[in-house]
Amino acid sequence: MLKLTNISTSYGKVRVLREVSLEVAENEIVALVGANGAGKSTMLNTISGIVNPTSGSIEFLGKRIDGMPPYDVLELGISQVPEGGKPFPDMTVRENLEMGAYSKKARKFMGESLERVFKTFPILKERGKQLARTLSGGQRQMLAMGRCLMSRPRLAMFDEPSYGLAPVVVGELFTFVQELRNQGIAILLVEQNIRHALETADRGYVLENGQIVLEGSSRDLLSNDHVRKAYLGI
Q: Does the pLDDT value for residue 95 go beyond 90?
A: yes
Backbone phi and psi for residue 82, each to the nearest 5 degrees, phi listed first: -75, 165
The string of pLDDT tens digits covering residues 144-202 is 989 998 999 999 999 988 877 777 778 878 888 888 888 899 999 998 888 889 999 99
Q: Does the pLDDT value for residue 228 go beyond 90?
A: yes
Q: In terms of pLDDT, which residue wins out, 96 or 166? A: 96
Residues with Cβ < 8 Å from 108, sequence gap 6 or more? none
The burial of 66, by beta-carbon neighbours within 10 Å (0-12 exposed, 13-18 middle, 19 or more buried), is given as buried
Domains annotated for the chain, with CATH where assigned, are: 2-62+77-230 (3.40.50.300)
Q: Are 80 and 48 in contact (CB under 8 A)?
A: yes
Q: Are 87 and 137 in contact (CB under 8 A)?
A: no
Predicted TM-score of the model (pTM): 0.90
DSSP string, the chain: -EEEEEEEEEETTEEEEEEEEEEE-TT-EEEEE--TTSSHHHHHHHHHTSS--SEEEEEETTEE-TT--HHHHHHHTEEEE-TT----TTSBHHHHHHHH--SHHHHTTHHHHHHHHHHH-HHHHHTTTSBGGGS-HHHHHHHHHHHHHHT--SEEEEESTTTT--HHHHHHHHHHHHHHHHTT-EEEEEES-HHHHHHH-SEEEEEETTEEEEEEEHHHHHT-HHHHHHTS--
pLDDT of residue 46: 97
pLDDT, averaged across the chain: 91
pLDDT of residue 179: 85
pLDDT of residue 138: 83
pLDDT of residue 57: 97
pLDDT of residue 162: 81
Q: What is the mean pLDDT of residues 213-224?
A: 96
pLDDT of residue 141: 86
